[in-house]
Homo-oligomer: A and B are copies of this chain.
Amino acid sequence: MFIDRLVKRIQEKNSCVLVGLDPRLEYIPASFKEQYYKEYGKSFKAVGEIITAFNKVIIDQVWDIVPAMKPQIAFFEQYGLDGLHAYRETCKYAQEKGLLVIGDVKRGDIGTTSKAYSNAHLGRASIESETLEAFSVDAITTNPYLGDDCLKEFMEDIQEKSKGMFVLVKTSNPTSGQLQDLESEGKKIYEIVAEMVYQWSLKTVGDCGYASVGAVVAATHPKQAKDLRKLMPKAYFLVPGYGAQGGSVEDIIDCFNEDGLGAIINSSRDIIYAYMKKGKEYDENHFGQAARAETLIMRKSINDALMVKRK
């Protein structure tokens, strides 16, 4: 199952750092982009090549110290077919390096349409009696606003193709509470979504004791994370909001269970553009090394805190 593969890699790498790939052209070093603009002009083709090459450098630097990568598809989608080609190449390359890939796609729709998204991102599309893969990765993020019959459509691929999903429960953005924190019959909306996730998680528990259906629970709300941990004991948490978005080690520590498992902590900008803040230590020609250094720091911070928690 997906979750067993994930936990195995977390233990092998002694790391629950999830590196997010949010390709932003304006943060990629000019000297790195130059050759592609020279060859392809200021085109989507050039951008696709730049993004793929940039991501490969990052992956080469972190593959041995993290269990998985999380490409954010929106940043690829904005560059059209070339951007999505880069998304696919990035995912493929990460998998070749033994990493799991969690596609941050936040899809979700009514029945048959959700199934088409599942075909696109987890499973295979049928062409008459044959099937082919489009953008399939190991797991994706999904949106719960349409309820269970939307989420249900992803279950076939999760169960039969050994894939995973992380359902948005509590997000990291400033207005996340506008709907998610509303109270209905004594429960917050995010708690009600957590109960949905809990039910789906029960159907996908692996040998490791955790489930291939998990939850997105932001680091920017530590108290809520603690409560949610209890509501979804078997669900793995994908935790955004660490670092650039304001979350600290203290904020994320309660996303873990006593066994030191239960959460992967995402950082995107802080890692992949670390060269921008490291100053003299790593210049723009060493953005990959800067990313590795930052990942090691993050891994150590979290592992140190986990050591204290497990004592």
Contact = CB atoms under 8 A, between A and B. Distances in A.
Interface of A: 22, 25-26, 37, 42-44, 46-47, 72, 74-75, 77-81, 83-85, 88, 106-114, 116-117, 119-121, 125-130, 132-135, 143-150, 168, 171-180, 182-185, 189, 192-193, 196, 240
A178 B147 contact: yes
A265 to B, nearest CB: 16
Contacts of A117: 74, 77-78
Contact of A149 (B25, B147, B175, B185): B175
A171 B184 contact: no
Nearest to A30: B128
Contact of A77 (B120, B171, B174, B180): B120
A77 B178 contact: no
How many copies the complex holds: the figure is 2
Contacts of A133: 80
Given A22-B112, A77-B134, A189-B189, 4 more contacts: A74-B116, A80-B132, A144-B145, A145-B168
Nearest to A132: B44
A172 B111 CA distance: 10
A242 to B, nearest CB: 14
A83 B113 CA distance: 15
Contact of A146 (B111, B113, B173): B173
Most buried by B among A26, A83, A175, A176: A175
B176 A182 contact: no
A109 B193 CA distance: 17
Contacts of A119: 78
Contacts of A130: 42
Contacts of A173: 110-111, 146-147, 149-150
A20 to B, nearest CB: 10
B113 A22 contact: yes
A146 B80 contact: no
B184 A182 contact: yes
B171 A110 contact: yes
Q: Point out which of A75, A81, A132, A146 has the most chain B C-beta atoms below 10 A from its C-beta.
A: A146
